[in-house]
């Protein structure tokens, strides 16, 4: 599935969540959901390479905003999903690491593409490795992998995210 999985951190988070649930009457909707994130989103103390050898040793000192929100809702972050290098690709085959292979291709002579730069995120969900995954999309990188792997996607926030990214670059 991924570029990086921190099993110790996942286990610690799960134990902490179990204790919170025992002590609380309010349980957020996403509590205990096991999610993974595309490698262009930072996860604290986790390698964030954006699918590139250039960043292979970068360890993020912070969580991306989306990861902070997922953690606030008591989601468990399984790990990071591989991606086309810097999101440049429409097949999931252009990573500096390994290709994102469609889990539906196990009985085929040739591996099928998981599609798009978020292909590994879609493949992780389709292979039931996690309940959901966070990807990014500016030209089909969520929609194409979802259609290739037979899962659902929600790219509804694209105009808002694209605007924030554009504004942050100015």
Q: What is the pLDDT of residue 53?
A: 92
Q: What is the model's pLDDT at position 167?
A: 45
Per the structure block, which two tokens stand in for 159? 């105009």
Instruction: Give the active site residue among 38, 52, 80, 118.
Output: 38
Q: Which of 48, 121, 136, 141 is catalytic?
A: 141
Whether 33 is a known active-site residue: answer no
Average pLDDT score over residue span 63-76 = 90
Q: If you average pLDDT over each of 13-22, 25-34, 47-56, 147-156, which comes out highest?
A: 47-56
Per-residue pLDDT of 23-53, as tens digits, reads 877 788 888 889 999 999 999 998 899 989 9
Say yes or no to pLDDT of 116 above 60: yes
Show the DSSP H helices in the chain as ranges: 7-23, 65-72, 119-126, 143-149, 158-169
Would you give the end-to-end CA distance of the chain in angstroms?
34
CA neighbor of 95 nearest in space, from 123, 76, 128, 127: 123
Active site residue 25: no
Q: What angle do CA 1, 88, 155 make, to 5 degrees?
A: 70
Please provide the average confidence, as pLDDT, over all residues in the chain. 82
Classify 15 as helix, strand or coil.
helix
50-64 tens-digit pLDDT? 989 999 999 999 999
Backbone angles phi, psi at 100, to 5 degrees: -85, 110
Q: What is the pLDDT of residue 158?
A: 54
Q: How far is CA 106 from the centre of its chain?
A: 22
Query: Active-site residue 117, yes or no?
Result: yes
* Bridge-based pairing state of the strands 132-134 and 34-38: parallel
Fold of 2-169: Amidase signature (AS) enzymes (3.90.1300)
Q: Say if residue 165's pLDDT is above 60.
A: no
Predicted pLDDT of residue 157: 59
Q: Which of 36, 48, 52, 117 is catalytic?
A: 117
Number of CB atoms found within 10 A of residue 129's CB: 18
User: Which residue pairs, CB below 8 angstroms and at least 24 apart, start in 98-106?
Assistant: 100/145, 102/126, 102/148, 102/149, 103/127, 103/149, 104/149, 104/150
């Amino acid at each position: 599935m991924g570029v990086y999985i921190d099993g110790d951190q996942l286990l610690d988070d799960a134990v902490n969540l179990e204790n919170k649930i025992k002590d609380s009457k309010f349980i957020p909707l996403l509590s205990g959901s096991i999610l993974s994130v595309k490698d262009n989103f930072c996860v604290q103390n986790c390698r964030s390479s954006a699918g590139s050898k250039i960043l292979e040793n970068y360890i993020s000192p912070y969580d991306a905003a989306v990861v902070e929100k997922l953690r606030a809702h008591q989601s468990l972050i399984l790990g990071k999903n591989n991606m086309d290098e810097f999101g440049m690709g429409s097949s999931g085959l252009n990573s500096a690491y390994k290709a994102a292979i469609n889990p539906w291709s196990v009985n085929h002579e040739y591996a099928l593409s998981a599609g798009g730069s978020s292909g590994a995120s879609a493949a992780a969900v389709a292979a039931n490795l996690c309940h959901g995954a966070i990807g990014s999309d500016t030209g089909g990188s969520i929609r194409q992998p979802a259609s290739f792997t037979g899962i659902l996607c929600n790219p509804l926030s694209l105009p808002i995210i694209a605007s924030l990214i554009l504004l942050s670059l100015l």
